[in-house]
Structure 1
Amino acid sequence: MPEAGDVVLPMPCDGSMVFRKVHIPMAGPLDDYPISIGQDSAEWGYVEQSRPAFIAGSFTSSGSEKSRYYLLAKYEMTQLQYRALTDESCPTPSNKLRLPVVAISWLDALQASDKYNLWLRQHAAGKLPREDGALGFVRLPTEIEWEFAARGGLEVGTAEFRDGRYPMVEGLNGHEWFAGSQSANGQLQLSGLLKPNPLGLHDILGNADEMIFEPFRLNKLDRQHGQAGGYVVRGGNYLTAQGEMRTALRKEEPYYNAQGQVKNKTTGLRLALVSPTLTSRERVASIESSWKKLGSGTEDATKDKGTVQALEALASGVEDQALKDQLKSLENQLRASNQQQEEARDQAIRASLNLGAFLCTKMLDDGQYLDFLQKNYDLNCAAGEQDPSCPMRK
């Protein structure tokens, strides 16, 4: 039976695929949410060094929620689901086919996604979420989409989000498959047997590596390197050592080797469900209007024009084209600088609110602990026969 929050889409051969919503606390189509991905590590810094990133949702949340969301498959794609999309006839269900599909190429994954998109539009278009009237579609997730969800998204605190792994109530053994006799024991495991992460995603680390949509790039401290290589795989697999299991783990796989397309026995996939960005003329007009306001300082301007508006007015009155171009370039630089300052201010406000929430929670916990100590003291020390430790505990 579907659990609360599950979004179920039908598949060929009477199958289904379950997705989970990943909420982003931003409502506008041009709004995005600042996060930090990767981790600080001298050993793997050139691959995994933490860097700033931004994420946004595809679909507008219903009701009074001012947020957007995208969806990520609850489980890694199984062999049964893959064969239902790619075989000429429906496969016979079995426990073996519940294993994640592996040993397929990145192009095979794209073709399976394409077949699923076409099937949904022909047989279940009404089940697909829409954004501004445009149908959603499935594809491989981006690195930022994958890592934000793998870390627990908004379901975890700021400190937990930055940890090497999401909070695991039952320990790593109870949540993810990894190398060793106490876990996967060198074998691919059935999907969904262990506990999920805070967003309800199963096997997001371990079991099978998961293909990512975009190509691999090295890290240059706070940004990615300019060379695009093979494709990215994330999450680790059933041969990954326990000590190596981390959310920031990322590797490069080539699209091709000497024999042809690369097909790795430890690599599978998990689909994302998203929407197009420019969905209608009205949406384009809204985005254009929002873009023109970025870094303009119009929010702080009162009676006087802001500096950006003053530069714009000055440039419009200049006839010399070279000077006009220089003024326009200066205006764009100022807008970009203003936008960075506004985003930094918003991040500082958000950090202060998170700190306040943490301190309030800590005060509540400390108060409950002190109440417990006081009750324990009254119980043991208020009676006629006092515990020998009472003077010290007073």
Structure 2
Amino acid sequence: MTHILLISHDIPSMSVGATIPIYHMIKNLSTQYDITLVCFNSKKYDIKPLEKHLSNIILLDNPVYDSFKDQFTYTFKNMLSYDNIKMRSFFNYYYHPKMSEIIKDTLRCNEYDIIITDMPMAFYVKNIKKPKIVYAFDAVGDYNHHMAKKATSIQSKLYWYLNYMKIHQYEKCYNKFDECIVVNNKDKKLLERFIKTPVSVVANGVDIEYFKNKNNRRIRQLVFVGDMSTPPNNDAVRYFVDEIYPLILREVNIPLKIIGRNPTDYIKSLDDDPNITVTGSVDDIRKHLNPGSIFITPMISGTGIKNKILEAMSMSLSVVSTRTGISGINAVNGHDFLLADTPEEFKDAILRLIYDDNLNRRIAENARVYVKNNYSWINASNKIIHLIKKNIK
């Protein structure tokens, strides 16, 4: 049996975007491969659902801090350590000397046919002489470059530009891998500008049966979902609330529900508006995606495929999205979702769905069929299996 060493920046979870593909890759590949998982443990996610799919699990707990000062001191010390600089992963948040030892010992004591790592952990194994695949997900450097150009203050512009230079330099380590995986063609083309390693597109998937709408009650509401600690989601909410929602409320009274962990003070303040509900983190997103709801993605920045859109479509919700939000998802405007790139277009699309229930139902039904036919995790895993076989000599 082929032995895989899989390295992740956290315990893979089926509920958090950055690790969802890794979670499903483990589930689907474990029937054919022997997989050892090495990862940090932030204690946010449970390893138990994956235990039966893994032959070996090696976790390194993230330290618990008494204060932000302690956390900053510890992280800064690691980032500036001699070993971190020597590895040319300078200023890498995920560098930890103990993790470096664990990976070296694991490779020394076991024979693996191939290494698969996610983007944040790639630098640990870039110089290992074994077949290697990096799951980059998207072109993160380009996103930071976009944010630097968009920033209005000197401090913000400097922050994003320095981040861009750091990550762009980091992404060059993909040249030491045999294969790089991204989730859409846009990110593939961006990375191919400066890396020579073959870049393959493996689109994210959806668990069709898990994300199947079993709510009987139809609720007319607007729903936004996203991790509120990320600038793209904050920008999207601010854009919608400031420029689009007032236009809608002039025509019809419809509530807005904002769902997602780590709401900023600005997002929390929106809960004071009687038309807006801010839930924060929820245990089960499916309970909030009722039939008749309209799922909005007014994204004005960001990269990669938005899993939240695929999940909403799988739940048979009509989606209204900007071009940025739907990027990488080749659904048909007017059939599987409604495209809206200006405040007026967004308002008009939502009003069409509100006033025409037949259209709302038709778009919602088409959305589920589209996801079912194009975004299964089994299909994604089969593409990864092909890449594994291709790179094992």
- Bin of the TM-score, shorter chain as denominator length: under 0.3
Query: Which structure would you say has the larger Rg?
Result: 1
Using structure 1 for the length normalisation, give the TM-score: 0.25
Using structure 2 for the length normalisation, give the TM-score: 0.25
Structure (1 or 2) with the greater helix fraction: 2
